[in-house]
Structure 1
Amino acid sequence: MTLPSRIYPVVDRALWVDRLGGAGARLIQLRVKDLPAAELVMEVRAARALAARHGVCLVLNDYWQLALNEGIDFVHLGQEDLDTADVAAIRGAGVRLGVSTHSPGELDRALSVGPDYVALGPVWPTKLKQMPWAPQGLDRLGEWKRLVGPVPLVAIGGITLARAGACIAAGADCVSAVSDFIGARDPEGQVRAWLAATADSAPAPHAG
């Protein structure tokens, strides 16, 4: 079980799929908030077309039914989304699944649905949203990797270019960020820098 890239930008509009995909990102999550339903569908369709153009594996956050309807590669769900999502329908449609985790209990729940990746966060403090969990740190990444074994582990939360390589070395298979990509002065250059930083970082040995 593998992911198509070691870097994983999270973006809020389809235009970023074009820009970051054109720069070499091959795994991008579209996380759209507060759009009317019709506009949301248009945004997802635009992102899907741009992802196909650049060979990007597109991940849709939250909207699993829309992912099924629109033929999206991958859906990402939080723990609260698992309360209502039809995992059997997601699997039946051939859509891959990523799940957020923040605690051992959440990890157990995530692994019970056979995810295609597990995300752990926040690794460092993040300003994007209020988090009820303390920063997890690099040691927790290593612990999580030992627990998930062959399931890809995504690190997210407070990750910057300077920290990306350390996450890979600690055990993450992939590193994700929002503002360090779409808030960068040169987003395309940032993608290339992240690719270089993570390519040079060997994962830590782990059991499982």
Structure 2
Amino acid sequence: MNRRNETKIKKALRVYLVMGSVNLQSGKDPVDVLREAVAGGITLFQFREKGPGALEGEACLALARRLRDVCRENGIPFIVNDDVDLAVAIEADGVHVGQSDADASRVRARIGEGRMLGVSVHSVEEARLAVQAGADYLGVGPIYPTRSKADAHAVLGIEGIRELRAAGLAVPMVGIGGITADLAAPVLAAGADGVAVISAIAGAPDARAAASAFADAAPWLRG
């Protein structure tokens, strides 16, 4: 990764919203929530349509396109979780995969060098393998306990990020898992380039205010 791209990715990771239709308060439209979050200051969006009641087939594709269009209108990278076929079909800006999803090196080969690749990691070994496979950034966590992902790994705490940095891993990193606005600053101070959130924004009564609170809690996110 060249330094210019690395700097661009670090900026994109600052306030990273992960969301699907299942993460919203009842009756809310994902597109409306995304627009509110964009207005509040999110810098990257990941479409993660998983869990009980998740959309499938054409319904999932249609929603992905609508959300992608919102991101394009606002110059925000649009990432798809796990589903490489969907990402390619709608020309997403990248793909994010977990340790139990598709092999990162194969995903990189499929999406090419022009799209962003994120990989969830929970240890130094996983992080090094992800970088070797072509990851542009690492999702590290869960930092705190979370209810948003039923398959969440054991809690790492901010020490997990410190450990990766101490091991010499300079790749862009975003902390995820149970992060609220009042817990964002310690995550960044530990070495993360940004914070990724699901319920703290997607499940909030006011997504715009919730997104803005993360930058208010750590002012340098707005830089």
Bin the TM-score by the shorter chain: 0.7 to 0.9
**Of 26, 40, 50, which residue of structure 1 is paired with 2:43?**
26
Contact in 2 for aligned 1:165/1:200 (Cα 8 Å): no
**Superposed CA offset, 1:94-123 (max 9, x none):** 211000011233223212112110011111
Q: Give the match for residue 194 of structure 1.
A: 214
Identify the range of structure 1 (79-88 vs 2-11) with the bigger mean alpha-carbon deviation: 79-88
> Cα RMSD between the aligned structures?
2.0
Runs of 4+ in 1 over 4 A off after TM superposition: none
TM-score, normalised via structure 1 length: 0.87
Determine the structure 2 residue equivalent to 1:9.
Answer: 17
Question: Which of 102, 115, 119 is residue 99 of structure 1 equivalent to?
Answer: 119
Q: 1:132 to 1:158 in 2, by over 3 A?
A: closer
Kindly state the Cα deviation for residue 180 of structure 1 after the two structures are TM-superposed.
0.6
With CA pairs under 8 Å and 6+ residues apart, which has the higher RCO, 1 or 2? 2
Residues 161-195 of structure 1: per-residue CA shift (max 9 Å, x gap): 11001100111001011111012222101111111
- Cα distance in 2 between the residues matched to 1:89 and 1:55: 24
2:183 — aligned with what? 163
The structure 2 residue matched to 1:135, chosen from 155, 163, 167, is 155
Q: How does 1:15-94 map to 2 (within 5 A)?
A: 15=31, 16-33=33-50, 34-83=54-103, 85-92=106-113, 94=114
- Going from structure 1 to structure 2, the CA distance change for 1:95 and 1:83 (only over 3 Å counts) comes to same
Q: TM-score with structure 2 length normalisation?
A: 0.82
Q: Does 1:145 align with 2:153?
A: no
Q: 1:5 to 1:88 in 2, by over 3 A?
A: closer
Secondary structure of the residue aligned to 2:167 is helix
Structure 2 contact 13–43 (Cα < 8 Å) conserved:
yes
Matching residue's letter, 1:27: L
Q: How many residues are matched?
A: 200
* Matched residue type, 2:37: L
Residue in 1 aligned with 2:143?
123
Give the partner amino acid of 1:29.
Q
SS at match of 2:100: helix
Consecutive unaligned residues of structure 2, counting only runs of 5 or more, are: 1-5, 22-29
Q: Aligned-pair distance for 1:58?
A: 1.0
AA paired with 1:25? Answer: I
List gaps (5 residues or longer) in structure 1: 202-208
The DSSP-based 3-state class of the residue aligned with 1:123 is coil
Shift, 1:150, TM fit: 3.1
The alpha-carbon deviation at position 147 of structure 1 amounts to 3.4
Using the TM superposition, name which of 107-116 and 77-86 deviates more: 77-86
2-structure distance, mates of 1:176, 1:86 = 21
Deviation at 1:145, TM superposition (A): 2.4
Distance 1:18 1:177 in 2: 16
